[in-house]
């Protein structure tokens, strides 16, 4: 039984370099894999909302005509509902 | 008219131009030509009274009518006006780029746009998909998503998906917010999550709407696909020649260029330009490396 293997310590500057290497000059992740790792929860949320929007739109095409309706739907589902849930959980 | 391209064009342009454009004026420019006229083309009922243009195509694209909103000069004039108000060059030419993208995209249908108004009220049309606004919005949607129109929008859907970097949080913080004064102002009142949801709204709307209309047209309503040049033959369409004053145009554009050839030429130029840009080149260069890595891992496992 040897001592538990400790993680090799990185010099703080080296760690910063690694983080910077993952982000491009325009602020976006360096690759699709990094992008997915950074925003997986958001992506799942938006995909689910997209699928629901398509389902509602196919059933009631009137829903598809207005940009304002789409933006409102997105704001309600991404901002307002999670904020309400957070408030009730407290 | 296009059903999803105008929503997605700003993101594709943003990806190509980065901090050199401001997103909000770009988006408003992309919607501007239809903002004042589209509702009257399809008609609305207010307190039991139906308001609709007698000749929707003439009203939407022609002169006299609101066709001047689809001209290059209109975008330029509004750009000058924005510059006079805000003294911000980026805001002004971002609007111009968005409006020009809209006007040039609408050249693809059978009515086309008065690109060079007020110098000429001639409608320039490639005639790839049918202009059927006069049939009402549901038939128009069915015809558009059964002809080459949905392919054209599909090109923008794929292009927008390839430009996925522009909708990331990091890109919004570093590039979009830095170039556009609107987000800095809105950031004083709204949270970052709200700003990002607003920023992504047109991307979400364009792609989801394209998918929904496609399903609606072919699963719910069974409109027949007809990918011939000019749109499905089952829909009554309006042609530019019916609205143009002169039966044949003497302008150099019409004399020297066959519309279909010009359209394919424009698509080829876009593809060539895109192929020369860094994002595709990087993806192509990275692809064999990934395959090599996978091959190495596979060989190691075998050992």
> In total, how many domains does chain B have?
2
* Cα separation values, A16 from A21, B230, B270, Å: 8, 56, 39
Put simply, the chain B residues between 73 and 112 with a CB less than 8 A from any chain A CB are none
Write the DSSP string, B162-222. Answer: HTGGGGSHHHIIIIIHHH-HHHHHHTTTS-HHHHHHHHHHHHHHHHHHHHHHHHIIIIIS-
Put simply, the chain A residues between 35 and 74 with a CB less than 8 A from any chain B CB are 35, 38-39, 42, 46, 49-50, 53-54, 57-58, 61, 64-65, 67, 70-71, 74
The answer to whether the Cβ–Cβ distance between A70 and B138 falls below 8 Å is no
Q: B198 and B76, same structural domain?
A: yes
Q: B263 and B128, same structural domain?
A: no
Handedness of CA B205, B146, B35, A57 (dihedral sign): negative
Give the residue from B35, B40, B71 showing the smallest Cα distance to B53: B40
Average pLDDT over residues A64-74: 94
Residue A59 lies in a domain: yes
ipTM for the predicted complex = 0.83
Q: B43 and B23, same structural domain?
A: yes
The HSE-up count of residue B138 (CA atoms within 13 Å, CB side) is 12
Question: Has residue B177 got a pLDDT over 80?
Answer: yes
Which pLDDT does position A80 carry in this prediction?
Answer: 94
Q: Are B62 and B241 in contact (CB under 8 A)?
A: no
Q: B122 and B53, same structural domain?
A: yes
Q: What is the dihedral of CA A55, A61, A65, A71, to 10 degrees?
A: -30
Percentage of chain B beyond pLDDT 90 is: 58
| Residue among A26, A50, A57 minimizing CB distance to B171 | A26
Centroid of chain to Cα B117: 20
Which pLDDT does position A24 carry in this prediction?
Answer: 81
Question: Has residue B216 got a pLDDT over 50?
Answer: yes
The answer to whether the Cβ–Cβ distance between A46 and B200 falls below 8 Å is yes
Owning domain of residue B279:
258-303
Owning domain of residue A66:
12-89
The answer to whether the Cβ–Cβ distance between A74 and B201 falls below 8 Å is yes
Question: Has residue B88 got a pLDDT over 70?
Answer: yes
Put simply, the chain A residues between 3 and 22 with a CB less than 8 A from any chain B CB are none
Distance of alpha carbon B167 from alpha carbon B212, whole angstroms: 21
Q: B289 and B212, same structural domain?
A: no
Kindly report the pTM of this predicted structure: 0.83
């Amino acid at each position: 039984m040897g001592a538990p293997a400790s993680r090799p310590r990185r010099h703080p500057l080296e760690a910063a370099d690694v983080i910077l290497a993952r982000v491009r000059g325009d602020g976006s992740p360096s690759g699709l894999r990094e992008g997915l790792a950074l925003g997986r929860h958001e992506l799942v949320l938006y995909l689910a909302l997209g699928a629901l929007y398509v389902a509602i739109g196919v059933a009631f095409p009137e829903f598809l005509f207005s940009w304002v309706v789409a933006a409102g739907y997105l704001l309600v589902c991404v901002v307002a509902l999670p904020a309400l849930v957070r408030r009730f959980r407290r | 008219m296009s059903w999803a391209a105008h929503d997605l064009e700003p993101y594709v342009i943003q990806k190509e131009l980065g901090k050199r454009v401001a997103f909000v004026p770009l988006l408003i420019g992309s919607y501007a030509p239809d903002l004042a006229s589209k509702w009257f083309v399809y008609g609305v009922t207010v307190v039991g009274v139906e308001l609709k243009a007698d000749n929707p195509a003439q009203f939407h694209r022609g002169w006299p009518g609101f066709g001047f909103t689809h001209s290059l000069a209109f975008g330029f004039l509004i750009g000058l006006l924005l510059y006079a108000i805000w003294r911000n060059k980026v805001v002004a030419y971002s609007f111009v780029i968005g409006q020009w993208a809209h006007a040039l995209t609408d050249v693809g249908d059978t009515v086309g746009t008065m690109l060079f108004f007020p110098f000429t009220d001639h409608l320039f049309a490639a005639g790839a998909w049918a202009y059927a606004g006069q049939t009402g919005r549901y038939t128009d949607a069915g015809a558009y998503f059964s002809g080459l129109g949905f392919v054209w929008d599909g090109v923008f859907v794929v292009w927008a998906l390839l430009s996925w970097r522009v909708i990331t949080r990091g890109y919004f913080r570093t590039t979009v917010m830095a170039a556009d004064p609107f987000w800095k102002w809105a950031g004083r009142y709204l949270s970052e999550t709200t700003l990002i949801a607003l920023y992504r709204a047109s991307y979400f709307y364009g792609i989801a709407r394209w998918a929904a209309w496609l399903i609606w047209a072919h699963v719910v309503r069974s409109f027949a696909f007809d990918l011939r040049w000019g749109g499905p033959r089952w829909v009554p369409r309006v042609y530019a020649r019916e609205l143009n004053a002169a039966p044949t145009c003497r302008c150099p554009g019409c004399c020297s260029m066959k519309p279909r050839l010009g359209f394919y030429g424009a698509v080829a130029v876009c593809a060539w330009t895109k192929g020369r840009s860094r994002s595709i080149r990087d993806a192509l260069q990275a692809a064999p490396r990934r395959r090599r890595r996978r091959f190495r891992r596979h060989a190691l496992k075998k050992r």
